[in-house]
Amino acid sequence: MGALHDGHLSLVDRARSDSSTVAVSIFVNPTQFGEGEDFTEYPRDLDADLELLQRHGTDLVFVPDVAEVYPPGFDTWVDVGPIADRLEGAARPGHFRGVATVVAKLFGIVQPDRAYFGQKDGQQTVVVRKLARDLDMGIEVVVLPTVRESDGLAMSSRNVRLNPEQRNAAAAVYRALAAGMNLWSSGEADASKVRDAVRQELEAEPLLEVVDYVSVASPDSLEELDRAGRGAMLSTAVHLGPIRLIDNVIME
């Protein structure tokens, strides 16, 4: 959706190394934002994005406006089933209908051989892989590791909206996930205890006003697990004032 950072650019660089032609789409998709969310406040800097993409060897940048993607009379939507109703889908009803629909449209327009996504949006990667598989799109979905700041905060376009105090507090998100991972790595397989360890660390940071969820889920179905096993996704979503941050780690 633009406001590019090193996480996005790691996807471009990998695509550049894999492919003869690299295309990037930039589109802040209104249909994945709910009422009262930050569509109008979402960071946008197209000139800076284009300069970065040129520097990283992008061949084509597709920058449609809303009317191109959703012309008058548009009324066809993609529903990927129950995985879209969990975690982010429960916290943001309709979010993944918007995501799946716009990704399906972008795939149809650009017709890539491979599409690159970051693990930072963990549930989105599951949704997109299911979309491509269920609809026989013939597209390889490549998921690359989350790129982080020096204190562990996952890079996100929304991070630029954090004030200095909030930015310091935001480091607690990865610190909490690490606490859960450390407990699991020490031999604790009870998923409820892993969740409690994460939540305890989050609640120790007073600026994290709301914790939407702490999850230990199957990497395929995103159903909550009783036992935390290898490959499970440990994830959380929190609010810092008006800014909502998500993060996850794969338990391995």
CA distance 199 to 193: 10
* Tens-digit pLDDT profile for residues 133-148: 999 999 999 999 999 9
Predicted pLDDT at 73:
97
pLDDT, position 41: 94
Give catalytic residue positions.
8
Average of per-residue pLDDT across 172-201: 98
Sheet of 243-250: strand order equals: 210-217, 233-240, 243-250
Summary mean pLDDT of the chain = 97
> For residue 94, which phi and psi values (nearest 5 degrees)?
85, -10
Q: Tell me the average pLDDT across 8-15.
A: 98
What is the pLDDT confidence band of residue 51, given thresholds at 50, 70 and 90? very high
Closest Cα to residue 227, out of 190, 200, 194, 181?
190
